[in-house]
Structures are given as C-alpha cells and as structure tokens.
Structure 1
C-alpha cells in the first residue's frame, strides 16, 4: 500500500461513484503517450487507471475523497501516487499528460473556492506542460437523455454524485464552444452513455440508419433513465438534422495527440473500433476476442437459446448503407405496402441457414445488396432460415408496435398473426390452420413463430434492451389504449347485462305462465275426480259400454246364462 498525500480541499467521509468504461479505456490506450509524467484528475474507474498505468511510468492521481484515495493506494500500491484533495489545493510541477475524462465537476471539495468552469480549466492548464497531452471530459447539459429525463432536476443526482456546477454561464454547451474555450487545439469525441465515442465531425455527418447513429442509439437505449419518450427516435431525428454531435451525454476533448479511430464502442466483452473510408467502415475488435457464451440467465434464456459472442463473424469492412430496419420503418410509416412486401421478399431470399442471429437493425442495405453489420451474437448450432426470419420479424414487431410507430396494418392484426404475415412476405409458407381442440390450444401462427420469439427474447436479454424503465409517452399511450379497451369492455358488459335483463324478464314471464297453468291443472284434476265419483259418471260409463255392443242378441243370451247360473 502506498502512502496517501493529503492537500487542501479533501472530503471525508465521502466516496465518488465511478463506472467501468471499456471504450474509453481503449481510446486512452491510443492517445496517452508512453513514459510520460501523468496526472489523473478526478474519480476514474480502475480499468481506466490500469490503461494509463500501462503507458506511463510516473502516474499521480488526485481525488477529493480520502476514502477513495486510501482504497486506490491499497489496490495499485507504489505504482500509483495518490493525492486526496481539491484541484485548487494541488501545487506541483507541470505534467506531460493530464487525464480528466470525468470532467471538472468533481474536483472541488466542501471548503473549496466557488470556481467557475473556466476558472477550473485555467487551473488545469496551469498544471499542463506546453506540449502536454490533455484528455478532458465535459457533461452535456443539452444531451438527449437530459432533455427527455422525466425526473425533476433536483432528483437527477444523488448524494454520491455531489456536483456543485449546474448553472454556470461559462460552461460550454456545444462542440464549438468547447473548442473555443480550450487553450489548446483539440479533437472532440461525442460520448454516448459512456459506451460509444464518435468523432464529432463524423457524428455530424451521420444520418439515420448509418453505423454511428446505430451505435449511438444502442448506447443511449441501454442507459437506465426514466424518459419522456424513446431515445432511439430522438437520435434518428437529431441525425436527420445533422445534430447528432450536439445531443450526446457528454464530450471528450483530446489535445496534443491524434486519436487513432473514428469510433470506439463497447460491445459485449470487447471494444469495437471503426474508421470511415471510401467504401464504408473498416471495423476491428480489441480486447478479449475469444468466443464467449452469454451470462444471462432466467426464463428468457435456456440451454436451447444460449447465445455466444463470436467476434470472428464481424466483417472487417462494413458498407456505408443504412439499416434495413430504418427502411422498413420508413415504408411502414408511408403505408407503402407493395415496397415493404418487395423488401421483405428480397430479405427472405438473402437469409440462409446460419449461426448468426439476424436483426434488421444491423443488416445493411447499400442499394443493391444486403450485408451483416457488427453484431456478433451467434448460436451453437446453425438455425433454420424460417426461425432466423421469425426472430428478426419478432424483434422488428416489438420495436414497431412497442414504440407506437405508424404502420398500415389494422390494429387487431398484431402479435403472432402480423409476424406470420411478414414471414409470408419473405417467402415462408403460412402454416395450415387446424381446428382448436381446447380453449388453450395455440394458433398455427403462434406455433410458426414460437422458436423465433425465443431467439429474439434471448438477443434482447444479451443486448440489455427492453430492461430500462418504460418512457412516459409509451406509458401514456398504453394507458390510453387500456382506457379505450376498458370503455369497449364496459359497453360489452352493458350489452350483456341488458341481454341478461331481457332473458330474466322472459324467464319470469314463463315462470308466471307455468304457475297459472299448474293452478288450472290442479283445479281441473279436482273437478275430474269429483266427476268420476258421481252416479251420473257411472251411468254414462254403462251407456258408453252398451253403445259399443255390436251384437245385442249374443250379449243377451250370455247374460241370460249367467243369471240362470246365479
């Protein structure tokens, strides 16, 4: 354990929360020069510290929390000199490298002077050598997640994120303002959710459905923040307006060094790097590139649905076209069913039996042909073409219907029936309809897409999509649908109650009629018994039987014989 040096402005008891950022660690590995005197300013995750230590021989780290400083001293030992205190309390010789990727919000203590962002930047500049490499982060107050955050401003930061800077007029709020405020020439990266870093000029030129936009949307969708509306839709709108570089969660300015790649993105246990060229994107994966099974467990993942991350299936060159999902969304919104059907048919011809899980948001269409993107999730054994298409269409259904996008299909044709219809457009024959043997019997469409839905659920689980809080707009739309359904059910219940009332009245009428008839029957029975016991009835019966005699002489002779016998 190394000894912790304490300067003015330390905070105790206190700790600053940090998160691992593999993509940023890969970026720092490219820009931090070797064997330089380095200062790490502010709280950073151990992974980032290790990335800096791997390149620098003399590393000093300044954190305001004494508890954090002691823990860092225990973890890294004598290879890292730790100082506990505030930025305005640090007095040292200029450093060759300054890494402040966490920004300047968490570098002052309780008793520090109320320095503005510009004054903090001046203090950092005083610690930098003339030719120093400076990596400086800045939180974006105009970020899409900040604008869509449904929480009040006073609830967005907990006690473990004490940030005194929130309303500083000197604080930059755009890429141009940041470049102007810095005393150095700097390259700026847009930081999307600490998972994807895109060069600012590349992000500005990106359009909906292209690789930078897809990676940025995926990164923001994985952030667990209660939103007013889906983040993906806002990302596409910003990209259409050439404002993708204006809405990230933050920026990263790099001065004194030239970054190697245009994009750094975290994907599973690896980091994806991409560089734009004339034909598309040159893609590479760094880190642990050995195939690894997903670690997700639960109902959505069983032995049959186990997915593997296999970097070998990622192509080295990805075309510069747009995703198939963007085209399908566009055609569905325009209600162009013939074009949608033709695109679905072409996709059905392109997909073949494979281990790679097909997802339309990562299949690129360049105007002539289709190609896989950067998704590396595969199954252990090849999957049939029908199941791959069912998985792709099931995921598309969840993103189309779940986000309440416009489409030409009737509202009652959703779920398995709609997915089955899309499969038919892709050339998969619809299943033969069979008669249900019980109320719980699954439909033929449900049986056709069952395997595909399992694969889609497993993919969503490993991509960490669908796990965030439901946005307010979706919740309101679902509440409105529930209200409409409740109104229809109330009408149905009223109709049933009225029908039951009519039937009840009819049954009461029948009951009264039956009682009347029963009373009449009882009276008639009593009268009938009284008549049968009278002499008149007996005489009438004798006369009746006598009238039935056809040969009176024969009867008379028989009667005479009986009389003589008696």
Structure 2
C-alpha cells in the first residue's frame, strides 16, 4: 500500500498540483511519449518533483513499483490516495533532506528486499542498489522549498544521481532562462514575482543556456544519450525534438504560437521558423529534456512530424509574396485549387507541396476553396508579410485577388473596419505602419505631381483658347435646359 512519509522541508500550505499563483505541474504528450519509450515493466522508478497526476498514474500502471518525492504535503496525501493499490511510497519534503539512507520502497522492492526492507523497501547498505529510473521532467528547481538555501542545481543533480543504480536511467527536464518567451512575450505582469518565486540565491538555479547545462552534466560525469528541445513549455510539453528544422520547425512554431495567442512583441510562429532557419531553434527552445542511459526516438510523439520531402505550401506562397513573384503565385494557386477540386482537403498551412503534388499535413478541414484561401490571406496579414500589392489589412480583398488567379470570382462585399486584420506582433505592426506611411508618401507625391500638371495645363494657351470657345456654348446649353423645363411644366 502506498503511504506518505515526511522527510523534512515539506510545504504544508502549498500545492503544485493545484497552484493558485504558480506554474502547474508538468504534463504533455511529449512527456507521456518519453516515459513510454524509456520505461520497462520491471523498472523501479522514482518520480521527483511536480508531475501531473495523470502522468504519475500512467507510470504506476506501466512499471513494477514507483516512489514519489514531492514538496507539497497536500499533494503527497492526494497522490498517496490515488496510488493506494500501487507498490511504492510517497516522500514529502525537499530533495536536500531526502538522504541517501532514506528507505526507498520502489528501489528496495526491485533490488534490495533481502537487505531488510521497511514497508516493502530497503535501507542503504550492501543491499541497496537504487532506482532503475529517476524521472525529473520538471527539472530540479521545484524539488526544494523556501526553507532550503544554498542548495545548488549541481547539488540537486548529485543527490538524484546518488539514488540511481549503476546503469540506471535519468530523465531530466530543464527550463530555458532565455528562450522564445523572452522574445515574443510583452506582458509585463509575467515579470512580476509569483508566490513560488521566493528569494533564493541565483546560483541555486539551473545553468542558463543549453551549453552551460550540457557542461554541468558533463562535469557531473553524466553521459547524455539524447537531448530534446521541448515546445511550447516545460510544464506543457506538446512536442520534443532532437533537431528543429524542416517540418519539425513548423510543428514547434505551431506549439509556441498556440501558447501565445494574445499580443506579442513578434509573431511567435514566424520567430520560431526564422530561428530554425538560422540554426538557433534548439538553443532558444523553451525547455529541454536530457535522457541519460537509454535510447529514445528523435521525435516525441513520433507521429507529430510528417516524413518525406517537400515544403509547407504556406511557406512557399509567403516566399512568393515577399519577393513579388506573381508568376509563381499564378502558377501554384491554380494547382492547389485543382488539387482541392480533385478531393484534397487542407489549407496552405497544413498542406505539403512536393513539386507539383500535394498532400495533407495534419487534420483535414471542412472548408470550401474560398475559405481555404481566406485562411491563408488572414495568416499572411497576421504575420505582417510583405505583399506585392498596396498594403492593406482587408482579408476579403486579398482573398479575391488570390482567387482570381484560379479563375474564381469572389462576390464583392461592403468593407467594415471589423475586417481589418492587424499583424500579431508589435514589430510586424510597426513594419506595416512604416510600409503604409511609405505608400501614403508616394501617393501624396503623385497627387502633388498630378495637381501641378493639371494646373500647368490650365495656364497653357491652348487650354485658355479652348475654354473661351467652349464657354459660350455651355452657357447657351444651360439656358436652353431651363427654358425647356419651364415649357414642360
């Protein structure tokens, strides 16, 4: 029977599973996929730190036994009740108080029962061999409470490694202190300290950046088998990638953009793709997973990134827009519309173009041809992409222009201000404003030139002669109209 044990440094009035003003426990499809790939049925597992309850129960159902280490007393009691029929124990407290001689239910049950187990566990000594797997996907920062000071990230890593049996596996998460969020999130309230951001020495935090983290792991004698870039956040790991390029970059960009739906400094989707093109997406990832001691797939979940060659149709069309390649637009859009007419389904943001063939990437969307083009028009305007035509924020006008390239006429509709689509990012908005100001300046200059030309014509001798000749005829014509009107009455 699972039970809760206090080891010291526990937080009595705090919850990481149900936070009021703090980050939630880590979860996500990538986290689940990593555990599925790394765990074996006969493993003794320690889960250290805040992990979502569904993640913990899934692990408990897949392995021989599982121990938990959490800092929250209410969380420890809740998890002990949920794992009542599971072999293992719940330890409540800080990692620095979780000494190497602490009884370990899962570890002892798997390897040290002969050494004199306590409640199915084993004490340290010749019979204690540690855990087969230690899971710390939330990282090490939330393994201690406010009572702990001077306990560095390296100390935490050493303490976990001390609980790992020789040849064991460690699944470790780490948050990036300078990731995409720093580039795209303008919300100043996000910089305000939360309840969990108590004053701790900055040296207690994880090393900032991928290379310092890798160096710290190397210094600890750890050989990393696999390094994943995690998107969109450590606490919501939707996808984890060993390399961020091609279609993997598109998947990562979607995850980041979905998480940042409000006002942003720059378009999240575009920022991730541009960083990937520059080879920087791995270093700027919101978080990382480090896998030690086992081989795992290059993409988590494995089906999240499409295989094969080609390019996302949206990217191909945006490139043509940016470089004013209207010939390519007039060639590709009819091809795409013909593919839709032949039974294809998908907007340009989830269709892959390979030569002159097209295939779906993701889920089919029940839209007609014009609606697919409208979706692309809106996304192009939201990204602040340059257009070969005068700048505008009217998706209907842009849709009509694109549809005409495939011989489709879109009925005109009355323009309303609500239809204006502004770029998502502040930087793209400023770029659009600058482009509009430039077009307005050019239009004003042309108007001044035209007005000067007309004024010059009016001052010319031929114009004045013609005006003198024609003016009497106009006067007579107006008078005749008035006379005829009176006669009719």
TM-score bracket relative to the smaller structure: 0.7 to 0.9
Q: 2:43, 2:132 within 8 Å by CA — same for their partners in 1? A: yes
1:36 and 2:54 correspond = no
Q: 1:362 to 1:412 in 2, by over 3 A?
A: closer
> For the residues of structure 2 that align with 1:391 and 1:327, how far apart are their CA atoms?
19
Superposition deviation, residue 5 in structure 1: 0.4
Q: Which residue is 1:102 aligned to?
A: 138
> For the residues of structure 1 that align with 2:201 and 2:318, how far apart are their CA atoms?
41
Identify the match of residue 66 of structure 2 among 40, 52, 59: 59
Superposition deviation, residue 155 in structure 1: 2.5
Q: TM-score, normalised by structure 2?
A: 0.72
Q: Write the deviation string for residues 39-84 of structure 1: whole angstroms up to 9, x where unpaired.
A: 0000000121122112221210001010111111222224152111
Q: Which residue is 2:7 aligned to?
A: 7
1:173 and 2:209 correspond = yes
Identify the match of residue 45 of structure 1 among 46, 49, 52: 52
> For the residues of structure 2 that align with 1:90 and 1:173, how far apart are their CA atoms?
28
> For the residues of structure 1 that align with 2:60 and 2:403, how far apart are their CA atoms?
53
Q: 1:105, 1:164 within 8 Å by CA — same for their partners in 2? A: no
> For the residues of structure 2 that align with 1:157 and 1:242, how far apart are their CA atoms?
32
Q: Secondary structure at the match of 2:291?
A: strand
Instruction: Within 5 Å, give how 1:378-417 maps onto structure 2.
Output: 378-379=365-366, 387=368, 389-412=369-392, 414-417=394-397
Q: Secondary structure at the match of 2:173?
A: strand
Q: 1:188, 1:251 within 8 Å by CA — same for their partners in 2? A: yes
- Tell me the matched-pair count: 394
Superposition deviation, residue 181 in structure 1: 1.8
> For the residues of structure 2 that align with 1:116 and 1:432, how far apart are their CA atoms?
65
Q: Write the deviation string for residues 335-357 of structure 1: whole angstroms up to 9, x where unpaired.
A: 11111211112212222264x74
Q: Secondary structure at the match of 1:5?
A: strand
Q: Secondary structure at the match of 1:141?
A: coil
Q: TM-score, normalised by structure 1?
A: 0.63
Q: Which residue is 2:281 aligned to?
A: 244
Superposition deviation, residue 114 in structure 1: 1.8
> For the residues of structure 2 that align with 1:251 and 1:149, how far apart are their CA atoms?
19
> For the residues of structure 2 that align with 1:81 and 1:243, how far apart are their CA atoms?
42
Q: Which residue is 1:199 aligned to?
A: 241
> For the residues of structure 2 that align with 1:213 and 1:330, how far apart are their CA atoms?
17
1:188 and 2:177 correspond = no
Q: Write the deviation string for residues 191-215 of structure 1: whole angstroms up to 9, x where unpaired.
A: 0113443432x32xx1xxx310110
> For the residues of structure 2 that align with 1:167 and 1:473, how far apart are their CA atoms?
34
Q: Which residue is 1:367 aligned to?
A: 355
Q: 1:217 to 1:45 in 2, by over 3 A?
A: same
Q: 1:137, 1:250 within 8 Å by CA — same for their partners in 2? A: yes
Q: 1:136 to 1:159 in 2, by over 3 A?
A: same
Q: Secondary structure at the match of 2:50?
A: coil
Q: Which moved more, 1:89-98 or 1:325-334?
A: 89-98
Identify the match of residue 324 of structure 2 among 327, 335, 343: 335
Q: Which residue is 1:223 aligned to?
A: 259
Q: 1:476 to 1:48 in 2, by over 3 A?
A: same
Segments of 5+ residues of structure 2 without an aligned counterpart are: 17-23, 103-127, 439-489
Instruction: Within 5 Å, give how 1:154-169 maps onto structure 2.
Output: 155=191, 158-160=194-196, 164=200
Give every structure 1 segment of 4 or more consecutive aligned residues whose post-TM-superposition deviation is greater than 6 Å: 477-484
> For the residues of structure 1 that align with 2:197 and 2:345, how far apart are their CA atoms?
39
Q: Which residue is 2:303 aligned to?
A: 272
Segments of 5+ residues of structure 1 without an aligned counterpart are: 266-270, 275-280, 282-317, 434-441, 447-452, 454-465, 485-566
Superposition deviation, residue 411 in structure 1: 2.8
> For the residues of structure 1 that align with 2:36 and 2:249, how far apart are their CA atoms?
24
Q: Write the deviation string for residues 378-408 of structure 1: whole angstroms up to 9, x where unpaired.
A: 44xxx6xxx2x21221111111112221111
> For the residues of structure 1 that align with 2:72 and 2:257, how far apart are their CA atoms?
32
1:89 and 2:97 correspond = yes
Q: Which residue is 1:493 aligned to?
A: none
Q: 1:150, 1:472 within 8 Å by CA — same for their partners in 2? A: no
Instruction: Within 5 Å, give how 1:142-161 maps onto structure 2.
Output: 142-152=178-188, 155=191, 158-160=194-196
Q: 1:152 to 1:87 in 2, by over 3 A?
A: same
